[in-house]
Chain A
Amino acid sequence: MKPIRILGIGSPSGDDQAGWLTVDALLGTGVQARDRVIIDKLDRPGASLTTQMEDAAWLILIDAMQAGGDVGRIRHFGQQDWMQYGQGLSSHGFGVLDALALACALGSLPPRIDLYGIEIASADPGLPPDNRVREAAQRLARHLAAELEQAAPSH
């Protein structure tokens, strides 16, 4: 049976750790003990994200975003939100949406994909994440743990 893959995307720079913090909080709930749940932190994966999502039944991606909202806001994006995306400007700018668009073109998208963005203030090297980002990561982890429990109850 194909796994559920949960990927926290980020870098060590300040609030850009939002995806990693969520994954850490999720690991604290014990969901990784379930069968078929694979949880990873990825450091600026670029195009290699495309290969990381292969063979998953359900893909959950968590990344930092800057969309002009309040810091700590969580947004969920469905497939309809990014299916038409296809900039492909450069490998320096090869982000999550490029990787999803490339996987889509290759026919290797998992059947279910949930993309979560956590609104951040700044991604400054050497600075710790903002408390509002930490709280959002905890909130999102609780939400994901509940979703996983609902989709595949542990008892």
Chain B
Amino acid sequence: MSDERRSVAIHVPVLARVEGEGALDLRIDDGDISELRLRIFEPPRFFEKFLEGRHYAEIPDMVARICGICPVAYQVTAAQALEQLFGVELSPWARAMRRVFYCGEWIQSHSLHIHLLAAPDFFGCNNAIELAKIAPDEVRRGLRIQALGNALMDLFGARSVHPVGVRIGGFHGAPSLSRIQDMRDRLRDALPEAEALIRWAATIPMPQDDQAFVSVALRHPGDYAIERGGIAASDGLLIEAHDFDAHFAERHEPHSTALFSSYRGQPYLVGPLARLNLNHDRLPERIQALLAESGLALPSRNLFHSLVARAVEILLALQEALRLLEHYRLPDSPWVPVTPRAGIATGCTEAPRGLLWHRYEMDSDGCVVNARIVPPTSQNQARIEEDLRLSLLNFGLDHADEALRLHCEKVIRNYDPCISCATHFLRLNVER
């Protein structure tokens, strides 16, 4: 390797295999990184403004439109926040089915990311189509698992894209016993496939990249937290959703239409690896045994282990859905009545990509005065930039430009950033 300290500028104008549109600018001067910016330029989407003045009954369907991949997360978080404010006690049936519904989203989103977005990077492929040529059985298995996740979303949401099943107080309808029986059979059949997926994921060679970071995820006393729990951090923090603003801050950066988040002034990680790091003791025994067999030591400081974490969470979601559907009965009513009240509603759940936080100020008619949504990708954005810096230094800046570009893309894709979800209204300053 040459001792010459070179200068290079790398621009990735459009990041491939991520949700939405972003870009990366990297400048190396005299062998040091002088500029590194993950630019999110997808247009601001004004969703929080759209919600103002809307009646609470419209909110679940409106927020489902924020993302085509994780609509359930938005619906369930909004419902959780508003139900808490309105003093609604969900029936045990509705509470359990919310978790099942959410499991469907984890299954489809994680399988999509593993097989179509992330895995090609680790096999030297440009895309899933190339991967399918060298690992057809694994890709087929991934598509089957993804389709099952979609079917589970469709079961409770009437469709998997922007589902419409959730209402404040429960669900609009309850699936028939015969449909649930069919789903149970499919879930049972998928369990060995998901176990095989974990074993396969654990054998994929990953770069060794040891980094120190704070993991943030929901934590629940009994469950592996998905749709409920307090907000926990790997430094010992454990708070309720309404205390989010006391510990976490958002800021604008000029190069991004997504907000950047920080915890105690520092970047932090949300998502599957953060969840696994904090909550692996909540996994069922069978999955803990598979993890031990895989050799993955937790907590992990290597972000590339996110792919295995997604595989683990697919199996967890399949098991959870099956467990909760095992003694399924049709409810007397899939929802309970709701009486709105004025106040501040906050909610927090674990979207496939990580912590999702909502805050609504409601008036006494049940209409939104203002709304704030903090999605996982904006929480991860500062961490991605930090990771890119550290990871590039570990990788070595003397690599050829193409190798550096590929490494950066691999790091970014590893977070499964959902850029469409993360784009916010950007403040406009006019000087005259």
Residues of A within 8 A of B (CB): 11, 43-44, 46-48, 50-51, 86-92, 94, 98, 101-102, 104-108
Contacts and interface: CB of A to CB of B under 8 A. Distances in A.
Given A47-B143, A91-B69, A102 B128 contact: yes
A43 B132 contact: no
Contacts of B143: 47-48, 50-51
B327 interface: no
Given A43-B159, A43-B160, A106-B140, 17 more contacts: A47-B112, A47-B146, A51-B147, A88-B116, A88-B127, A88-B128, A88-B129, A89-B17, A90-B117, A91-B113, A92-B19, A92-B68, A105-B132, A106-B132, A106-B139, A107-B136, A108-B140
B355 interface: no
B112 A91 contact: yes
Among B17, B130, B132, B136, which residue has the most Cβ atoms of chain A within 10 A?
Answer: B132
Among A43, A44, A46, A90, which residue has the most Cβ atoms of chain B within 10 A?
Answer: A90
Given A89-B17, A90-B18, A105 B146 contact: no
A88 to B, nearest CB: 3
A88 B159 CA distance: 24
B17 A102 contact: no
Interface of B: 14, 16-20, 68-69, 112-113, 116-117, 126-130, 132-133, 136, 139-140, 143-144, 146-147, 150, 159-161, 420
A94 B19 CA distance: 10
A51 B115 CA distance: 14
A145 to B, nearest CB: 27
Given A47-B112, A51-B147, A92-B420, A102 B132 contact: yes
Contact of A88 (B16, B19, B20, B68): B16
Contacts, number: 70
A88 B16 CA distance: 8
Contacts of A11: 161
Given A47-B112, A94-B116, A105-B133, A89 B147 contact: no
B112 A105 contact: no
Contacts of A108: 140
A89 B159 contact: no
A48 B146 contact: yes
B116 A101 contact: no
Among A47, A50, A86, A89, which residue has the most Cβ atoms of chain B within 10 A?
Answer: A47
Contacts of B127: 86-88
B273 to A, nearest CB: 20
A88 B136 contact: no
B19 A90 contact: yes
A44 B160 CA distance: 9
Contacts of A90: 16-20, 117
Contacts of B16: 88-90
Given A88-B16, A89-B17, A101 B69 contact: no
Contacts of A46: 112
A3 B127 CA distance: 30
Nearest to B158: A43
A90 B143 CA distance: 15
B19 A106 contact: no
Nearest to B416: A91
B161 A47 contact: no
B19 to A, nearest CB: 5
Contacts of A98: 129
A92 B136 CA distance: 22
Contacts of A48: 143, 146-147, 150
A105 B18 contact: no
Nearest to B14: A89
A44 to B, nearest CB: 5
A6 B127 CA distance: 28
A42 to B, nearest CB: 10
Among A43, A51, A94, A102, which residue has the most Cβ atoms of chain B within 10 A?
Answer: A102
B45 to A, nearest CB: 13
Contacts of B133: 105
20 contacts: A11-B161, A43-B159, A47-B116, A47-B128, A47-B143, A48-B143, A48-B146, A48-B150, A86-B129, A88-B116, A88-B127, A88-B129, A90-B18, A90-B19, A91-B112, A92-B19, A92-B68, A94-B116, A106-B132, A106-B136
A50 B68 CA distance: 18
